[in-house]
Amino acid sequence: MKVRAVPPGVLVSRMHGLARQRPRDRAFLAPRTLSELGFLAFSMSDDEVDYELLDLLRKSLGLGPPDPNAAPETKVLRDAEFIYNHSYDVALDMRHTKVAAISLLQQLKERGYSTKAWAEHALHPKARDECTVNFIFTMDLLNFSFWSEKSKEERFSVKYGEEGKSWTGYWSLVAALQRALDEGIPITTPSFWVDEEACSEEVLRKVFRSETDEEIPLFKERVQCLREAGRVLEEV
């Protein structure tokens, strides 16, 4: 029996050969990471192809059709890791990040938070349809930077609702979107964002108008986000 260390670059071309391993060797061959898979020692034989092992190797290398039972890949963790590894102006403490995650999970469990609870807030959409999907996408797209050096009474705020309540921070954005929809402005429609005649800067300033003298922070950057997202979605 030959024992050989196979580097990752050679694995694909030898996939079928490696699938001829005897079943008793599986515990030895089972990889936990791609790097482990690349440098494990494999025994070569002339037995019949082991299709179960071949499938294992393909999945380990990310080849073949996706697992229908696997969780959807949002790439959020991948992008977060990239930001974590390449940030220069901001440093994240891994230990305290874990502590915060544990605390948030505990709070979610104690309060019984769910998608149903999310919809119970007065400003969040109640329907479960395409309009709500568009609303959430728009909301997430613009949900950043509400910092202000002004007092709560002077900072950017949006008055909305039967009680005429003034909303600040994240809720000011949600209130502005709801108010615009009530006024007949299709602010959550991507095709509207790229129509610079219908969705002019003047219209957008009306959408995000404030009850105070302070306008919504980073107004121009938010407009750019809408335009760019609209172009991408319209090209799909």
Nearest-CA neighbor of 61 among 24, 20, 17, 10?
10
**Higher model confidence: residue 13 or residue 205?**
205
Q: Residue 42: what pLDDT?
A: 44
**Angstrom distances, CA of residue 99 to CA of 85, 92, 105, 108, 215:** 19, 12, 10, 14, 36
Q: Residue 196: what pLDDT?
A: 94
Task: Please report, rounded to a whole number, the percentage of residues in the chain having pLDDT higher than 70.
Answer: 72
- Predicted confidence (pLDDT) at residue 36 exceeds the cutoff of 50: no
**Interatomic CA distance for residues 101 and 196, integer angstroms:** 41
Domain ranges for the chain: 3-60, 76-112, 114-235
- Predicted confidence (pLDDT) at residue 127 exceeds the cutoff of 70: yes
Confidence of residue 53 (pLDDT cuts 50, 70, 90): low
Amino acid making up residue 134? N
Plot region of 164 (φ>0 → left; ψ -120 to 50 → alpha; else → beta): left
User: Mean pLDDT score of the chain, rounded to an integer?
Assistant: 80
Q: Which residues contact 113 (CB under 8 A, 6 or more apart)?
A: 107
Q: Residue 63: what pLDDT?
A: 67
Q: Return the minimum-mean-pLDDT range out of 58-67, 103-112, 139-148, 225-234.
A: 58-67
Q: Residue 101: what pLDDT?
A: 92
Question: For the segment 76-118, what is each residue's pLDDT rounded down to a tens digit?
Answer: 888 888 988 888 888 888 899 899 999 999 988 888 777 778 8
Q: What angle do CA 152, 154, 156 make, to 5 degrees?
A: 85
Beta-strand ranges (E) seen in 154-235 are 158-160, 165-167
